[in-house]
Structures are given as structure tokens and as C-alpha cells.
Amino acid sequence: MSQQNQKVLIGDDSMIFTGDATANEYLGDGQKTVAEILAADKPAKVDGYFMSIITAIGVDSFFPQGLIVGELFPFADSDVPGNGDKFRVLDLNHIADASSWSFSITQGEIDVTRLNDKFRKYRLGKKDAQLSLASIFTVGESDRIGGVINRNMKLVKKDSDGNITVSDEANRALYMLGYVNKAATPEETSDFVFCKIYLYNARLGGQSGSAQSYDASGRLTDFDPVFYSLDAQNAPVTAPDPDPVP
């Protein structure tokens, strides 16, 4: 983004997506484009990219040096995965009921001051990260299969036709894309933190005269968070609503 297009962010520019990797694993051959590889399944894009998890890195890999298995790679249609490159596309859902979120990173400090030091000296310890998510309970979104509440407890849904679905997603990790800026036009840049987390500590309830809110927390698992800055590809397309209203 050039200096003349710099954008000062506000809270309304942010957005958060969560989801899982699809069951299908795709293999690159160094010849077919991603669009050709995914033509039969037609997974959804976000910001014009197929947000994908790296599952294997080939000898002549298309993946840039520094990315590792388990991290995200945003595929454009014309990208050609190398021979032996493998990936799974993320099935992402916009958390439309979120009212605020934060991702905090802290780091321990270890005092290594000696008697002859005039100032205290330190070495840095392990980093820690935590997600805090506040939401307004929204029927049809907050209570959907695989949603934030379902990640904390078993969910039973019965539709108007009498069909019953029981989903137990409790304590199963999910992927998160926490956008500090979600591109609104093709000329914009999307910035987000990517990680895999456990959601826990949901708090439900209501108070007279106030919106019904619920809070949840998240902790990292599997790999370290990575921050991505992506120029949008064509018109940004978000993942479809999992429970569209007729």
C-alpha cells in the first residue's frame, strides 16, 4: 500500500473468521494451477484467496522459505504448487455476532541481575498469547453448528421439519483469522493474525435493558501465530453464511 493510500484503522475495520481445514488434501504437480486443482470442489475464497493449510512441502516447493507445515498460505487462482506440495483449504465462517475481540501477546522476563550490576538486567522468557472475544447473542449465528458456543459444549438443534442434529465440538481446536483490517475494495490490503486455538470459558446470560452478550477466551495450540498482510485479489469475497436465511 503506497503512502498516499495509507489507512488509519478503527474498530469497525476489524473482523474475525474461524473454521476448520476441509477433509480433502490436494497435491501439487508443478504444472496445474490452484484453480485447476480445486475446480471440482470449488471451495470459498476470502479476499480472493483460497486460504489453505500447508500439509507437506515438496523438494521444489512453491511455498516460500520460512513457512512450515501447519501454517497458512493464501493461494491465488494462478499459483502453481510445486511437485509434492500438499495443502488443505480452510472452510471459514465470519463470526458475525462478535462485538469486539483482542489478541494479546505477553512475554516473561527473567531477572539476571548480579551483585555488581548498577541496573537490573533481564533476559526474556517464553511468550504467551490469549484471545478475548465478546459477542452479542444472535439467533441463527451464535447457536450454529461449529460456532463459538458449540466449541464449549454439546449443541442440539431441531429444525421445523423435526430433524435433529447433535454436535459435540467441545475442546476441539479451530483455526482463526483475526483481521485488524478486512479489505473493502480490491485496492486495499488485508491484515490479520492467523493461529490455531482452543476456545473456552464461555459466559452466557442476560440483563434487563442490555443486549444479551457472551464472552469467550482462546489459547494457542500446535504452532505459533503468524501475521499476514495481503493485497486483495479482485473483489473481496467472504465465506458464505453457513445458515442462510430464506
Could you report the average pLDDT of every consecutive run of 10 residues in the chain (246 residues)? 65 83 94 95 89 94 94 95 96 84 93 96 95 84 81 87 88 89 80 91 78 85 93 54 48
Report the pLDDT value the prediction gives residue 234, as an integer from 0 to 100.
56
What values do phi and psi take at 5, rounded to 5?
Answer: -105, 15
Q: 161: exposed, middle or buried (C-beta count within 10 Å: 0-12, 13-18, 19+)?
A: exposed
Parallel, antiparallel or unpaired: strands 98-111 and 122-136: antiparallel
Cβ neighbours of 98 (radius 10 Å): 21
Q: In whole angstroms, how far apart are CA 193 and each of 3, 17, 73?
A: 23, 10, 13
Report the pLDDT value the prediction gives residue 78, as an integer from 0 to 100.
93
Q: Which residue ranges make up each domain of the chain?
A: 19-93, 94-231
Can you name the residues that pair with 213 across neighbouring β-strands? 136
Report the pLDDT value the prediction gives residue 98, as an integer from 0 to 100.
83
Selection from 129, 128, 98 nearest residue 11 by Cα: 98
- Domain 94-231 in CATH 2.30.110? The answer is yes
Report the pLDDT value the prediction gives residue 246, as an integer from 0 to 100.
44
Residues 114, 121 contacting (CB under 8 angstroms): yes
Cβ neighbours of 90 (radius 10 Å): 24
Q: Residue 34: helix, strand or coil by DSSP?
A: helix
The number of helix segments (H) and strand segments (E) in the chain equals 1, 13
